[in-house]
Structure 1
């Protein structure tokens, strides 16, 4: 990890807490709208970042696009913009609202969400973060709406274990404002390290990518590329969409990010593709279309140039795992 990104992440202002744990048995399925809880958890907040640590078992999670991202014990699921999501296990369970499984906050003791058909057990520790940083701005979409990270052995994995132990001990949640600092610092440490791992291969990280999200000229262009990587973008088309000249936009990308807009777009597409290959069952052809390629062959060539292996071989090698 380069120093610029490490420094930027260390200076992120995050407010967080562990707020409940789930004891689920197959088959299970529930849906949640985190923003409905935002004001109750963080008064005045209009956004929340959710994370789920899989303590044991496995599950899948999907946002509105319906794509299921799988997670196993030790994985951390992040929903950076608090999008509505569905979580489930093996088999087809009856989908219910999370609001029917939990009392509304604030909670005097850490609640336990219990749900399922009595089969194989999955335990999950759930938490939230609040931040006004552009990295978590839903308008920018600098991160996928949901992603899964497996942290390598080291301090970060230790913080995940500590979070699990803390939650499983039934500790008093921060929502009653009397909990100790551990409950608030653990989520911040976990999510900071998850971001560090996830962003390690993001495009132009070495050139101050996070700073670019704050750049008044670049931010609108980045927001469009992040939201619509599948479009057939040209520099002229992107410049017109953000009311800049072609040359001014190209110059700004090169000054701040060290590369042209189209080179950035290609790298961003590959970054998204690696996440989809690692945590979903989507075919290579489907992933190619989702990230802006008309054919599997063109996508495979571009992916191999970036990653050194074809999508099929990269997936087979289990490249998500450290």
Structure 2
């Protein structure tokens, strides 16, 4: 098969941006997120703060959840965050995200003499948001801190390629106004939120995270990983096809033909940018869809199999066990029990 030159299949930049956003929303719609805003910080330079290590932070905030996503909303002033040797600066209006919940240091102007956060925060449970203050006598920085947990992050080909820390700044207009409204709401309502407002407060971190990922995908260029893949004229088309029809009986040849390239080029680009073959990507996405369907205890395994592209319950069970190490029935029982629900009537 003659390989198709990239320049003949490139999409307009506007179309690529729309496709990238559609794929991002599709992935995030299957990643169950929950979280909260947990801390308000008021600091005057010079100051430096040393939050707990990732495992301790997870136990403090989320009962030991394996996956913790942290973020800092900069309401006023500026500061730096360092994680795994990477450093970013945040200014008023920025959103700083630590997608892997890494141990980090934060401060203005540097990190020397960092005070352990545990010395400044009262032990939970908290009746209202704790306010941490460090008074160095200089410029004031105000920060809203929050977190997210992922109930099940099986399909993490996007998130695992993100850097340990990044900062995004919304463009002037609606996104900026919306994020500022979130800041104001968190500050004004945290201490006396009734039940309905608490539910909305729990949704704010998820909305902020989705917005941060959207902004990051628009503002950053990547050489490897999911963002690079969806921006690639060949892989972007292939990923769109997989996400549009995950139940189709795709083969490497058919996917390459529909993406207007050769099988060898498609496989090489998948492995280079995503670290896996096209069919492995398809299987992992199907398993992500399956874990969501399995939470419905009334859905038969055959129905789950068919909605994930498998012609029989046996074929689906084999694929599921290869990916997760347990049977679909055992996984369902464990997931429902974790939520206090019976596995069956």
**TM-score (normalised: structure 1):** 0.60
Distance 1:118 1:55 in 2: 19
Residue 63 of structure 2 corresponds to: 43
Q: Does the CA-based 8 Å contact 1:38-1:46 persist in structure 2?
A: yes
Distance 1:114 1:253 in 2: 55
**SS of the residue 2:164 aligns to:** coil
Check if 1:254 corresponds to 2:274: no
**Dislocated runs of 4+, deviation >3 Å:** 134-138, 153-156, 176-179, 250-253, 260-265
After superposition, the Cα gap between the structure-2 partners of 1:40 and 1:163, relative to the gap in structure 1 and judged at 3 Å, is same
Distance 1:77 1:31 in 2: 16
After superposition, the Cα gap between the structure-2 partners of 1:6 and 1:179, relative to the gap in structure 1 and judged at 3 Å, is closer
Distance 1:135 1:156 in 2: 28
Residue 213 of structure 2 corresponds to: 195
Rg larger in 1 or in 2?
A: 2
Distance 1:36 1:115 in 2: 22
Number of equivalent positions: 223
**Aligned-residue RMSD, C-alpha:** 3.3
Check if 1:204 corresponds to 2:211: no
**TM-score (normalised: structure 2):** 0.57
Q: Does the CA-based 8 Å contact 2:94-2:170 persist in structure 1?
A: yes
After superposition, the Cα gap between the structure-2 partners of 1:44 and 1:162, relative to the gap in structure 1 and judged at 3 Å, is same
| Structure 1 unmatched ranges of 5 or more | 216-249, 266-322
**SS of the residue 1:68 aligns to:** strand
Residue 90 of structure 1 corresponds to: 109
After superposition, the Cα gap between the structure-2 partners of 1:252 and 1:106, relative to the gap in structure 1 and judged at 3 Å, is farther
Q: Does the CA-based 8 Å contact 1:60-1:69 persist in structure 2?
A: yes
Matches within 5 A, 1:1-322: 1-2=18-19, 3-32=22-51, 33-65=53-85, 67-90=86-109, 93-131=112-150, 132-134=152-154, 141-169=160-188, 171-172=190-191, 180-200=198-218, 201=221, 202-205=227-230, 206=236, 207-208=238-239, 254=266, 259=269, 261-262=271-272
| Structure 2 unmatched ranges of 5 or more | 1-17, 222-226, 231-235, 247-261, 276-345
After superposition, the Cα gap between the structure-2 partners of 1:264 and 1:181, relative to the gap in structure 1 and judged at 3 Å, is closer
Q: Does the CA-based 8 Å contact 2:45-2:108 persist in structure 1?
A: yes
Q: Does the CA-based 8 Å contact 1:56-1:123 persist in structure 2?
A: yes
Give how far 1:91 is off. 5.5
